[in-house]
Structure 1
Amino acid sequence: MNIDSRIKFRHLVCFLEMARQGSLARAADVMAVSQPAMSKTLKELEELLETSLFVRSKSGISLTEAGVAFLRYAGPSVQTLREGVQALREGEYAAGVVRLGVLSTVESLLVPEVVRRLHERHPALVVSVVTGPSAYLLSQLRVGDVDLVVGRMTDSPEIQGLTFEHLYSESMTLVARPDHPLLQGVLDRTAVENFPLVLPLAGTTIRKFADSLFVQCGLSPSRQRLETLSVALSRRYVLSSAALWLAPLDAVRLDLARGELREIDLGQREPGGSVGISSNASLPLSLAAQWSVDVLREVGQAYREGLYP
């Protein structure tokens, strides 16, 4: 079956924005067009495809089964065309751009080392990093707005339909400033419940590991909490208060080595989640993205062998 020549680039772009936003009104705002114009574009596309792509409800719009199937091809097609146009504009030998979705758990050690090695080998390469919760980053990957997502993803429901490659396992640890009251004398584990606690955001993949560790240790998390994915905010708050931080080991490894933070021994350590690369199998990797995969694998192997950090 030949592609209907009446399907235009604007049809695909509007469809992707509607899928991304889950709302005609929000999609129209992003595209800087009126909502009736957006509705007309969608109607045209559905008529050309002879199927409904979205289900309308009071809360917005959601993809039908046909819409989900079309999304698998529309996103990569638009992204490939954009890359082709960019390649022509920049010239045949332009270095290119790789867009990485990065979880906070890997932004302290893994990603800086990956970027360092990439720039060492490819001097003109642009590495664009987007951070956020796993659900958001995987949604960006699904529609082609990022090339790869790096972090703990295996327990996220949004990983369905995407590809995950394990790099290494990383545990979590409870840390505090060096002169914290809990670190003076013999540790009373139950006293942990009396201090403010820094945790990952509720609903995130890494939060599930954090909650599981407290259950395994027979402890109840403090009711006074800071919930955030910001490593910088967590570190600053813990260093300036009596708060405890249940942190990914990578996020605090250098602080522990320098003595700026200390571990609080709970008697057992969270066994560790799988850190890896998520990719969209329906989206061909650019050369820059493939370079990034190669270096991520290289640094991941160094982690597993204890050669880095």
Structure 2
Amino acid sequence: MLNARIKLRHLQAFLEVARQRSFARAAERLSITQPGISKTIRELEDTLAVSLFERTPLGVSLTQAGLTLLRHAGPAVRALEEGVDALQAVQTGAHWLRVGALSTVESRLLPEALRRWQSNTASERGAQVITGTSAFLLSRLRRGELDVVVGRMTEAREIHDLSFEHLYYERLQLVVRHQHPLLAEPSLTADRLSAYPWIVPPPQTTLRHQVDSFCVRHGIALPMQRVETLSLALGHRYTLTGDAIWVAPEEAVRTALRCGELCELALPLELHGGSVGICTNRSLRPSLAAEAFCDGLREVAVEVIKGHNP
């Protein structure tokens, strides 16, 4: 039985401090004073007879007890919020969805699935799409702040205690603009790539790990002249206006390759690609809105697979 001394405000304060890793920032987000949030956390620690946070040079971090509470408190508070949202949805006919999206699905899978999800009902449906790295999005999913995360993430360490459903495989490709100097070389070798700027995913991302593995296999180093980004729009435009080599998700450049605007180099970065899929928090019961959205993702994935194998 839950201790009667533990109130919702205690759990909300705990989750916000864990999220912000700072009492000051958490207090600002919750619109209370820093002494007020410190008192609330002390009350929770006294009730549980454990320390939940410890000071670090960068702010605060969770103790082992704090990590244990986080695994349960986040989904519990999220479930309560979903209950309130469900009651409001019954009254207004509206449905709300929170999606985490990796760059690998921004071009086709996600927008098409969202379009179908919103159009396949007479009631109003709203969605909030959060982008970022797999580590960032999966941590929010684990805390119950997202309903689902979509993208290529099977290589992420943070996925181990979550539920992942495979949809299809997708490769990273080395692409350049039409008439790039490297396209004229009869026998392209990896050492020639270092002479040009690169556009690559940022460090500590699952996609960057694949780039680093490619460099190790071929005995080359990434050039200092590079742009590190997950932005597809930036990567596309930068590639078209110069001699950069773009490490791009296959689906993101499919149309540009077919029309000849971009070209894939005759040196594969990876042969089989990684698994693109749906990640959910198994400790949370999915909402009807999330279930309907995932059905749409599966439908679009079948069409993406057919596009991979025309």
TM-score range, shorter chain: over 0.9
For 1:161, the equivalent position in structure 2 comes to 161
1:98-130 Cα shifts (integer Å, max 9, x gaps): 111000111012111211221231352212211
CA distance in 2: counterparts of 1:220 and 1:59, whole angstroms: 32
1:95·1:122 contact (CA, 8 Å) conserved in 2?
no
Say whether residues 1:208 and 2:209 are aligned partners.
yes
Q: What are the ranges of 5 or more consecutive residues in structure 2 without an aligned counterpart?
A: none
1:12·1:74 contact (CA, 8 Å) conserved in 2?
yes
Say whether residues 1:271 and 2:272 are aligned partners.
yes
Using structure 1 for the length normalisation, give the TM-score.
0.92
The secondary structure found in structure 1 opposite 2:221 is: coil
CA distance in 2: counterparts of 1:59 and 1:16, whole angstroms: 18
How far did residue 35 of structure 1 move?
1.7
1:182-210 Cα shifts (integer Å, max 9, x gaps): 12352543322111000001110111112
How far did residue 131 of structure 1 move?
0.3
How far did residue 231 of structure 1 move?
0.3
2:174·2:269 contact (CA, 8 Å) conserved in 1?
no
2:109·2:304 contact (CA, 8 Å) conserved in 1?
no
Quick one: which amino acid aligns to residue 283 of structure 1?
Answer: L
1:44-102 Cα shifts (integer Å, max 9, x gaps): 11122232222333332222222222222211222222222233334346231111100
Say whether residues 1:196 and 2:197 are aligned partners.
yes
Using structure 2 for the length normalisation, give the TM-score.
0.92
- RMSD value over aligned CA atoms? 2.1
- When structure 1 is superposed on structure 2, of 135-144 and 93-102 the one drifting more is 93-102
- When structure 1 is superposed on structure 2, of 273-282 and 28-37 the one drifting more is 28-37
2:172·2:269 contact (CA, 8 Å) conserved in 1?
no
Alpha-carbon spacing, 1:92–1:32, altered in 2? closer, same or farther (3 Å) = closer
2:173·2:250 contact (CA, 8 Å) conserved in 1?
yes
The secondary structure found in structure 2 opposite 1:96 is: strand
Aligned 1:107-186 pairs, distance under 5 A: 107-123=106-122, 124-186=124-186
How far did residue 11 of structure 1 move?
0.7
The secondary structure found in structure 1 opposite 2:158 is: helix
Q: What are the ranges of 5 or more consecutive residues in structure 1 without an aligned counterpart?
A: none
For 1:76, the equivalent position in structure 2 comes to 75
Q: Percent identity?
A: 48
CA distance in 2: counterparts of 1:63 and 1:160, whole angstroms: 19
For 1:290, the equivalent position in structure 2 comes to 291
Alpha-carbon spacing, 1:112–1:308, altered in 2? closer, same or farther (3 Å) = farther
Aligned 1:15-34 pairs, distance under 5 A: 15-34=14-33
Alpha-carbon spacing, 1:308–1:60, altered in 2? closer, same or farther (3 Å) = farther
2:74·2:144 contact (CA, 8 Å) conserved in 1?
yes
2:96·2:127 contact (CA, 8 Å) conserved in 1?
yes
Quick one: which amino acid aligns to residue 74 of structure 1?
Answer: A
CA distance in 2: counterparts of 1:224 and 1:286, whole angstroms: 46
CA distance in 2: counterparts of 1:192 and 1:307, whole angstroms: 27
1:16·1:71 contact (CA, 8 Å) conserved in 2?
yes
- When structure 1 is superposed on structure 2, of 229-238 and 45-54 the one drifting more is 45-54
1:221-246 Cα shifts (integer Å, max 9, x gaps): 22210000000000011111111101
The secondary structure found in structure 2 opposite 1:78 is: helix
CA distance in 1: counterparts of 2:40 and 2:74, whole angstroms: 17
Alpha-carbon spacing, 1:160–1:269, altered in 2? closer, same or farther (3 Å) = closer
Alpha-carbon spacing, 1:83–1:308, altered in 2? closer, same or farther (3 Å) = farther
Say whether residues 1:231 and 2:232 are aligned partners.
yes
